[in-house]
Structure 1
């Protein structure tokens, strides 16, 4: 009897272990391994050409896969959920986001966390829907999160993820390139994590120079900030190289750092500074780069609990960094009350000097 019981105990232990081992082998074999530089396809709907002296607007918006509305929390931030509350809610969030973009009418939109086939957003192709809502814009898309199945949280797993960065433009573009960022988590964590990257889009400017528009989404949760340091060093080198060419540079997106010139203590909150949020390093980039942020409007909230004004910790981690040959005319955060995403969009108006 004892031998039979031990045999059953052995099977009870062995089967889950075998399933876990097979799963790890599978995700390792199919792991998304993008090239260090990847030329991206783009639609070419715009006829406008940039000229020196032009005034342009750019809006950056992490849309939180249209699933992180004000009623949501997120397990990676200390909450419980890993998916949008329902397909209906996801569609409502996405429609509201598209409506904002249509009304904003910026020349450039830099979007992050745009899903194209994820369990967490009910397989909705958000990139296609947003592109369709702005038919006169060039658009391009770069994957930065592609995993066949994320098995956590155990009782409500995130599941399949396919997500990325999306850039929309009302000006004619010459090229769009996905640059893979260095710094990876160790195996097997990396097999479930994002492959961080940025899109560098090039727009010819009459007179021979280019506007280089960078859409980025940097890491947030690596302990000790080792990965973030590697990413910033890589980006620093790229920015310096383009700056030396005399090109115009607009770098925007979700930096996942408290940005220079902003102070989270300015916002009402009952929560302490989250451990993952660090100040942006002062030594970044060549001399003369300019930050374009709105310190008066928070661009992100914490996700350990649903949003409640005056409770959640707030900060400014979304904004722009521009080259010295660009004049910053204005920067404004849009306080949407985190109704449809855990981020608020930020718009800058710039002149190419």
Structure 2
């Protein structure tokens, strides 16, 4: 055998061994965080409890780990980028997000995709500008996933990610916990990562509680049924709390077309996508829980764009962000706040509600 052939075989063998070692690392490193109690950050200046009959406002926003500015396209959505443009642009955008949230002057905030230590966001703890802007609120952070290093794209790997859900409230959160959600098995679990929702228990008058849920359901699944199973688990949880006499409010990114057919409001896209399906009929049957899908039919604004490229006319847009409430919560208004997708691939959604 010629020397160059031997060298080539050795190189190929080394590549195969390295690839096998990396695959083994990814599967061995993969883990689920599981159910666990969370530690709220209390603020001494907050009110002692919530009051029935008083109107409260809530803003929910998937901030897209601070990277999805209007000119950003993500590689898993058909774009090219795997990380924020730069650390400088990321931190500037996070400051802008924090400032925008403060301007809303809401009582509650439910945030998703807040990175604490991730390659894609240059290991910036994105909670810090949010804490600084909303310093007068109590809060609780819930880690959604802790993913192993993704060695793709090869030129600029997405890397490892620690990210989660951040909740703010005007009253000290008495207790909180993380609830694990089912995820798809096999290789897909590496793409969709871990999933959970956070539960914050907030004192209200009469010894009752507002049970507040922050959620981010699965997106990168093979058939969309996993997100439906996740939703059913949350519905059962809310029903149990309602049966116990508590008020329940949930908000976040459902990764479902909450309008059923968003294209009828926002027009057909220049490409077809199927990652966000409508919630199947019958999912809410048997539950005293109402879906609140924010929509102004006279001036419809989508809550999400597909980040296949920079934001442009004809891009696939829809509403996947919204709320759920139990019958003892009255919703007087809900809306999508039109930011023009300047800060994230999601627009914030806002709801005004009263505890009956």
| TM norm structure 1 | 0.93
Matches of 1:185 and 1:85 in 2, distance apart? Answer: 32
Note if contact 1:173-1:202 (Cα within 8 Å) is conserved in structure 2.
yes
Note if contact 1:236-1:284 (Cα within 8 Å) is conserved in structure 2.
no
Q: 2:37 aligns to what?
A: 39
Matches of 2:352 and 2:228 in 1, distance apart? Answer: 29
Q: 2:345 aligns to what?
A: 342
Matches of 2:14 and 2:192 in 1, distance apart? Answer: 26
Matches of 1:73 and 1:16 in 2, distance apart? Answer: 31
SS at match of 2:204: strand
The Cα shift of 1:273 comes to: 4.1
**Structure 1: segments with no counterpart, 5+ residues:** none
The alignment of Structure 1 onto Structure 2 pairs a total of residues equal to 349
Matches of 1:262 and 1:51 in 2, distance apart? Answer: 37
Q: 1:305 aligns to what?
A: 309
The Cα shift of 1:235 comes to: 1.8
Instruction: Give a deviation string over 1:191-232, Cα, whole Å, max 9, x none.
Output: 454201000111121112211110000012211223223212
Aligned counterparts, 1:43-192, within 5 A: 43-45=41-43, 46-48=45-47, 49-187=49-187, 189-191=188-190
Matches of 2:335 and 2:191 in 1, distance apart? Answer: 35
User: Given the superposition, is the C-alpha separation of residues 260 and 321 from structure 1 closer, same or farther in structure 2, using an over 3 Å criterion?
Assistant: farther
Q: 2:242 aligns to what?
A: 243
Compare 228-237 and 82-91 and name the one that shifted more.
Answer: 228-237
Q: 2:215 aligns to what?
A: 216
The Cα shift of 1:268 comes to: 4.0
Instruction: Give a deviation string over 1:106-148, Cα, whole Å, max 9, x none.
Output: 1111000101111111111101221122111111111122124
Matches of 2:268 and 2:95 in 1, distance apart? Answer: 29
The Cα shift of 1:24 comes to: 2.8
1:332 aligns with 2:335: yes
Compare 314-323 and 16-25 and name the one that shifted more.
Answer: 16-25
**Structure 2: segments with no counterpart, 5+ residues:** none
Matches of 1:220 and 1:155 in 2, distance apart? Answer: 25
Note if contact 2:261-2:278 (Cα within 8 Å) is conserved in structure 1.
no
